[in-house]
Amino acid sequence: MLFLAVFCVFLAENFREHQAEHQQEQQYLYSMAEDLRSDTAQLHRVIAYRETWQNKIDTVLKWLASGECDSQLNEIYDEFRWVSGGMRFLNNDRTFQQLKNAGGLRLIRKRAVSDSIIYYDQELRRLLYLSETETQMKHDNRKIAYKIFRWDAEGKTDSSSNQNRYNHLSLLSEDPVLLNEFCGDVKHIQQLDDGLLFNERRIEKNATDLIGLIKNEYHLKWPIVKSISTHTQKSVPVSR
């Protein structure tokens, strides 16, 4: 009888531990889905910005290559304020870092889900490398731009065209060698930007697909209910 009682206690403890791990697993995956939703929202904005940026690069390169800069200086300055800037995607990796640091990946029982999470992280690291390269290229290109464009140019917004109107504009240099160097660098940045745009669109799709996979494999759904676990203060979705 004593052996049976000890065995029953062991089974009960094992069951409670299994239930606690299952609850943690669901919390992690709900949190991951929320991070992915944040990523897709940010990616949507970054992709839209990058598409506009691409169009403005084409416009600036066309005008600078035309040899008729003087008649387009206002437009060149207005567009270049876009070209010299940028917007980077910074993913929300709070849950993935918790999964790695706390050994939480072992809690994810569905192999397809864990493999997709790891693949998504790999794609993000590749995108981060490309983004850092683009940032450095833009930084180097601005050193040339300072020799061509006046950064103290000030203008007022024209309400009819929603563009800045500048007075007494000029280029600091119209040296064809310097302009060629500037345009060549910008063209290389544009080619890298094409790769970033392709990868961002793919990652946006991967994030959306991973959200669907998590919800389908674990029957997660919204609206959510308050978590009863002490692991995190986040809410967790209802399970069917």
Residues 90-126 pLDDT 10s: 888 888 888 877 676 777 888 899 899 999 999 999 9
Does residue 28 fall inside a structural domain? yes
Does residue 1 fall inside a structural domain? no
Cα angle 154, 170, 59; round to 5? 85
Does residue 13 fall inside a structural domain? no
Residue 118: how many CB atoms within 10 A of its CB?
A: 14
Q: Is the pLDDT of residue 226 over 50?
A: no
- The DSSP symbol for 102 reads T
Does residue 183 fall inside a structural domain? yes
Burial of 77 (0-12, 13-18, 19+ CB in 10 A): buried
Give the H/E segment covering residue 224. strand 220-225
Residue 95's closest CA among 41, 43, 35, 37?
35
Does residue 97 fall inside a structural domain? yes
Residue 171's closest CA among 43, 45, 98, 72?
72
Give the H/E segment covering residue 163. strand 163-166
Taking the chain, what is the end-to-end CA distance rounded to the nearest angstrom?
39
Does residue 129 fall inside a structural domain? yes
Summarised one tens digit per residue, pLDDT across range 154-191 is: 544 454 554 555 555 778 888 889 988 988 998 898 89
Does residue 174 fall inside a structural domain? yes
Could you give the number of structural domains in the chain?
Answer: 1
Q: Which segments of the chain does DSSP mark as H helices, in order?
A: 2-66, 73-83, 94-101, 111-145, 176-218
* Per-residue pLDDT, 21: 53
Q: In the predicted model, what is the mean pLDDT of the chain?
A: 76
- Structure-block tokens of residue 137: 């290229």
Cα angle 19, 20, 22; round to 5? 65
Does residue 103 fall inside a structural domain? yes
Q: What is the pTM of this model?
A: 0.73
Highest-pLDDT range among 25-29, 80-84, 142-146, 229-233? 142-146
Return d(Cα 113, Cα 95) in angstroms, integer. 14
Asked whether 124 and 40 are in contact (CB, 8 A), the reply is: no
Query: What is the three-class DSSP state of 150?
Result: coil
152 phi and psi, to 5 degrees?
-95, 10
| Domain, as residue range, for 163 | 22-239
Highest-pLDDT range among 20-24, 38-42, 136-140, 142-146? 38-42
151 vs 50, 72, 75, 169, CA distance in Å?
23, 17, 15, 11
- Structure-block tokens of residue 56: 């403005």
Burial of 46 (0-12, 13-18, 19+ CB in 10 A): buried
